[in-house]
Chains A and B, each alone.
Chain A
Amino acid sequence: MEEAIRFLTELDRFVGVERRYLVKKEGFTDPNYGKTPTARTLEELLKYGIVNLDKPPGPTSHEVVAWVKKILGIPKAGHGGTLEPSQGGDTLRYPVSCR
């Protein structure tokens, strides 16, 4: 449980937020099931993961997604969406997922 709270605190810090966690009931989690996100293998990360990609001006989001799929050799990828049709650079995320 301490490990989970440490990881959640890491997520909070990623966006510059400090959150306190209040314990209602001390927790136990069965080590035989599930896995701590920081222990995931590369294959697992590629199945459900995020790349915060800096899309250069020029190629469309769609073209960049196709490129990401090709170089990572994964069947599915998507992006966070863009409204302006091909204007300037843009940071996009590529959640890669095979669901």
Chain B
Amino acid sequence: MISHSSKEYVALAQLHSEVPRERFEEVVREFIGRIYQRPPLRSSVKRVLRVKEIYEIEVLEYEDVYALMRISCQHGTYVRKLIHDIGEVLGVGAHMRELRRIRSGPFREERSVRMQELSEAVYMYRELNRSDRLKSLVLPQEYIVSHLPKVLVFDGAAAAISYGADLAIPGISAISEGIRRRDLTAIFTLKGELVALAEALMSTEEVLSSSRGIAFKTVRVILERDTYPRTWRKKSTTN
């Protein structure tokens, strides 16, 4: 789930000779949108040409041959390669000096926990029997889907979906506005538990005006089976 959501980085690029800032920014703008990218030699995926989307590039600082940029892009984009390619278009060459990921899907750097903090919290829990610190560092799994539109379902629907069923109209209690067909949506119980990820087959308006039909196709079930009791009848096993 997280590995398939958008990412944001701060990267330091070094140009192989000086270029005016205006020229640099002009070339950078050409890289916003859908780009072709072949993964670098040292990479963790097959080296075939892939289309990746760059949502934003902001030049934060520019001095001598160094450019500090904030880059927001689709998952699987190689920033090292992006910088190399910017250097090629500039004609002077460039390489990446440093990289830091500042956001992965809904999780941002400024809210991240240092290893030291985690180990202190574990110590307080184990040695002093105080769990509040550790509890505050471990987020409920529901946070993974913070960025998705959401739909709330009745207990019976939650039970059926946990067994793999799709979500039909009568199971829906509430829905966030603005869902379009094909949108990835998170299904929640009326207690706020994440049930599943699903693809919308109907828009918010269609859901509100329909009285029957499948509205969401289940993609991935999260809720453990039998958290809620089954309401559908089991096929008879006698004879």
Contacts and interface: CB of A to CB of B under 8 A. Distances in A.
A29 B142 contact: no
B115 A67 contact: yes
Given A64-B115, A80-B2, A92-B104, A40 B189 contact: no
Contacts, number: 206
B227 A21 contact: no
A19 B113 contact: no
Nearest to B8: A91
Interface residues of A, number: 62
B237 interface: no
Interface string B70-83: 00000010111000
Contacts of B76: 83
Instruction: Give the bracket for the number of chain B residues in contact with chain A.
Output: 35 or more
A36 B140 CA distance: 10
Contacts of A33: 155, 227-229
Contacts of A46: 138
A82 B104 CA distance: 10
Given A5-B152, A29-B154, A81-B3, A52 B99 contact: no
Nearest to A17: B147
Contacts of B158: 34
B6 to A, nearest CB: 11
A88 B100 contact: yes
B176 A20 contact: yes
Contact of B155 (A30, A52, A54, A93): A30
B177 A90 contact: no
B104 A80 contact: yes
A93 B48 CA distance: 28
Given A84-B78, A84-B80, A85-B42, 20 more contacts: A8-B176, A11-B142, A11-B145, A11-B150, A12-B146, A19-B150, A22-B204, A22-B208, A23-B174, A28-B154, A46-B138, A48-B140, A50-B138, A52-B112, A53-B118, A54-B112, A81-B2, A83-B78, A92-B104, A93-B104
Interface of B: 2-3, 42-45, 76, 78-80, 96, 98-109, 111-115, 118-119, 122, 125, 131, 134-135, 137-147, 149-150, 152, 154-155, 158, 172-178, 188-194, 204, 207-208, 227-229
- A-B pairs with lowest CB-CB distance, top 3: A27-B173, A29-B190, A7-B192
